[in-house]
Amino acid sequence: MVGVGNPMRGDDGAGHAVVDELRRLAPAGVDLTTASGDAAELIESWSSAEHVIVVDASASGQPAGTVSHFDAVHEPVPARMRGSSSHGLGVGEAVELARAVGRLPARLEVYALEGRDFSSGAALSAEVLRAARALARGLAGSLSPTALDG
């Protein structure tokens, strides 16, 4: 489970916030980590996992706090998830690069939390914080090793 983003850029910290919540809620045996979003780092982070869940912030024009979910193994990353990183290669690029070179895990789910304010030093927006907590609670229930095997 990888939370992606930069917590110093407001709602870009949504992925980290979900992981922070899960550190209290997730069952043992689930590997929780955070990443800045660099494509090579992400591909490396899931190289030894079978089932990976990535949570990142999105800026697609939906209401703040909206959660989108897609199965990255069976569908391409939506265009809105690509090219949004300030450092060139982000989550969308990591997924598509991994697909091209055969380094996708068996299961890869991506959750995108829509952000509103990405300014430097800002805190998470109230809507994003609520959505991050709700997503963490939902994921905690499905993150048992038995559920993951299924």
Residues 89-128 that bind another protein (CB under 8 A): 89, 93, 96-97, 100-103, 120
Longest dimension (CA), the chain: 40
- By beta-carbon proximity to another protein, the closer residue of 36 and 66 is 36
Instruction: Extract the runs of DSSP E, i.e. beta strands, from the chain.
Output: 2-4, 33-35, 51-58, 67-71, 107-114
Contact predicate 46/83, CB 8 Å:
no
Q: Under DSSP, is residue 119 helix (H, G, I), strand (E, B) or coil?
A: coil
Q: Which of 23, 31, 40, 130 binds another protein (CB under 8 A)?
A: 40
Residues 43-72 that bind another protein (CB under 8 A): 43-44
- By beta-carbon proximity to another protein, the closer residue of 119 and 146 is 119
Identify how many contiguous H helices and E strands the chain contains and give both numbers: 5, 5
Query: What minimum distance in Å lies between the beta carbon of 62 and another protein?
Result: 22
List contacts with another protein (CB under 8 A). 35-36, 38-41, 43-44, 86-89, 93, 96-97, 100-103, 120
